[in-house]
Amino acid sequence: MNHMRIAFIGFVAVCICLASCKPEPKDSQDLASLASCERTNNEVVLRLEAEPDILNPLITTTSYANQLNFQIFSYLLTLDPESLELIPQLAKARPTIEFITDGPYAGGTNYTYEIHEEAVWEDGSPVTGHDYAFTLKAALNPEVSAVRLRPHITLIKDVVVDESNPKRFTVVTDKRFFSGEEKTASTFSVMPEKVYDPNGYLKDIPVSAFTDAKKLEALAKDERLKQFADVFQSPQYGREVGFVTGSGPYRFMGWETGQELVLEKKEDWWGDALAAKYRALEAFPDKLIYKPIKDGVAAIQGLKSGVLDVVPDIEAATFVEMKEDPTMTDCFEFYSPSMLAVAFIYVNQNNPKLADKRVRQALAYAIDVSQIIEKVYFGMGERLASPVHPAQKFYNDDLAIPDFNAEKAKTLLAEAGWTDTNSDGTVDKEIDGKQVELVLTYSYSNSRASSERSALIIQESARRAGVKIELDAGDFRQLIGRQRAGDYELSGAARSLAPNWEPRQNYHTEGDNRTGFGNAETDALINKIQETLDDDERYKLYKELQAIIYDERPEIYIMTYSVRFAIHKRFETPISAYFPGYFPNYMKLRSSQMTAGN
């Protein structure tokens, strides 16, 4: 599912040093827990680990913003939290699919959708195919920073809205992609044209002008593109009431920086009448209150004191401790589902010190991943050798997982010309007439104390292989920006995965490729994967690409992991293998709480 996959999440090292956690006195814990148990209202208060960047679903780069965007905006099709299948949301049903046999898009596919008659914007005006076409144009506008989305929608060539029924429209593609339905229906949420383009800058420009390379080259000179982008990307359209608005169940009510972001269930929301038939339209809480709390210890105190109902990504040691505390288990359910996600380290192969793949291969042996899993994650993680989850059918299990081996790392480094000529413990090499030490900076998010512990293990194990690692802890959003700009050497990261792997975004040279991986041959392989409809044939290609990535090592894979979170017991909710493991709109008061009242 694209709109979950692109929800990028920072590298998570999930355990806090036990010695640094000073528990509250038992009596204090009891009182706080008791107070929390007595809450019966239908409002969910959730911790965010970092402040969102902007509540604009086309240009945000963080999962923290998307957690709110998923409640404000709607997709044609979205994800069933348990089956992980596409289910209708704005659309009445999955599309009618027709292969194109002649004309300029012969070999492509038509996907015809119809939006619910009941679907309306906040002002009561209908959601139509024109809004879908507008959103697509906004995403394709080269002046708009929608880089992460564009690789997924290059197959779309036109949108034809039914003249007699504007809620019915056909998305025209020039390819037969195995993921075509997903790309046309769930890559981007639909945004209201009248709100986000009040000046009509894009209204008279056809979709085809953005999808044809020659037409787009001519269109790039049109001043309307930049005029639109300046308005669309302005702060008010990302954080002000009345400007952040969609067709989803929740209305944006305000953002107090560093304190909270509030969403309120719309009165007489159009989806309520259809929710019994369409699961994606279920929305039970009256209000969703998101509190950015960077410090993990402070978040746990908020849970104990009754300020928070939901805390995600609890440090492993704290999670184990709370699960054994009856004052906590009386009030909260503790969940640790396995995630379709992978934690890894970006390796910037555009950096001269990392350009030789033997150096990147050496780093895979120089980092003691098993120690990270055991000491930081308390064993709650599974090692892997590729960017595909080991449980997926197309995982290449012929690839050997690189265990920590300092001597093998040194051998590979020596083959690449890096040896310790001055006996200072760090390998070196002459580059452009200068002796250069292999000193690398590892950048990571400072949002968790356990990230520091993982970084220290990386530093120490690499030292034993002759590589000096300097640690650089920073703000999560700045970290993402530096990754996208290629301004790093090694950088901690993670990404959610989809039931079907879509490698174009991360590994195609025209995608949101943050490592410098790829060439014409790998691009052609990725294109072939997209165009292969037969599962068995596509799985073979998947494994071929994994083998190339394994050899080139643009990323060092740490593990798949279980995410740990707590939810107040007054709510029942489905648990998902998609990050963060729960969907707030599905949190429903238990019958006993409903009887008690709000």
pLDDT over 90 (residue 447): no
Residue 34 resides in a domain: yes
Quickly state the pLDDT bin for 287 (edges 50, 70, 90): very high
pLDDT the model gives residue 22: 35
pLDDT the model gives residue 5: 43
Residue 10 resides in a domain: no
**3-state DSSP assignment of residue 281:** helix
Q: Are residues 293 and 363 in the same domain?
A: no
Q: How many helices (H) and strands (E) does the chain have?
A: 22, 23
Q: Which two three-digit tokens encode residue 164? A: 């007699």
d(CA 16, CA 314): 9
Among 537, 527, 532, 539, residue whose Cα is nearest residue 501: 539
Q: Are residues 311 and 395 in the same domain?
A: no
Q: Are residues 159 and 94 in the same domain?
A: yes
Q: Are residues 310 and 362 in the same domain?
A: no
Question: What one-letter code names the amino acid at 354?
Answer: L
Q: Are residues 501 and 571 in the same domain?
A: no
pLDDT over 70 (residue 23): no
Quickly state the pLDDT bin for 36 (edges 50, 70, 90): low
Q: What sign for the dihedral angle of Cα 301, 302, 307, 311?
A: negative
d(CA 197, CA 86): 29
d(CA 505, CA 372): 28
**3-state DSSP assignment of residue 345:** strand
What average pLDDT score do residues 99-124 get? 96
Write out the residue range of the structural domain in which residue 572 sits: 24-52+241-336+566-596
Q: Are residues 533 and 433 in the same domain?
A: yes
Among 285, 284, 294, residue whose Cα is nearest residue 259: 294
pLDDT the model gives residue 261: 98
pLDDT the model gives residue 593: 60
SS3 for 185-243, per residue?
HHCCCECCHHHHCCCCCCCCCCCHHHHCHHHHHHHCCCHHHHHHHHHHCCCHHHHCCCC
Q: Are residues 307 and 188 in the same domain?
A: no
Quickly state the pLDDT bin for 598 (edges 50, 70, 90): very low
The total number of structural domains in the chain stands at 3
Specify the CATH number for the domain of residue 250.
3.40.190.10
Residue 93 resides in a domain: yes
Quickly state the pLDDT bin for 497 (edges 50, 70, 90): confident
d(CA 149, CA 529): 18
Residue 11 resides in a domain: no
d(CA 542, CA 525): 9
Residue 64 resides in a domain: no
pLDDT above 70 as % of the chain: 93
Specify the CATH number for the domain of residue 158.
3.90.76.10
Residue 7 resides in a domain: no
**3-state DSSP assignment of residue 282:** coil
Q: Are residues 328 and 381 in the same domain?
A: no
Last residue of a domain, one of 191, 212, 232: 232
pLDDT the model gives residue 491: 97
Q: Which two three-digit tokens encode residue 73? A: 């905006």
Q: Are residues 393 and 463 in the same domain?
A: yes
The contacts of residue 481 (CB under 8 Å, 6+ apart) are: 61
Q: In whole numbers, what is the pLDDT of the chain averaged over residues?
A: 91
pLDDT per position as a tens digit, 529-570: 988 989 999 999 999 999 999 999 999 999 997 889 999 999
Q: Are residues 120 and 44 in the same domain?
A: no
Contact 469, 440 (CB under 8 A): yes
Whole-prediction pTM: 0.77
pLDDT per position as a tens digit, 218-246: 999 999 999 999 999 999 999 999 999 99
Quickly state the pLDDT bin for 313 (edges 50, 70, 90): confident
Specify the CATH number for the domain of residue 512.
3.10.105.10
Residue 2 resides in a domain: no
Q: Are residues 533 and 591 in the same domain?
A: no
Residue 18 resides in a domain: no
Q: Are residues 465 and 388 in the same domain?
A: yes
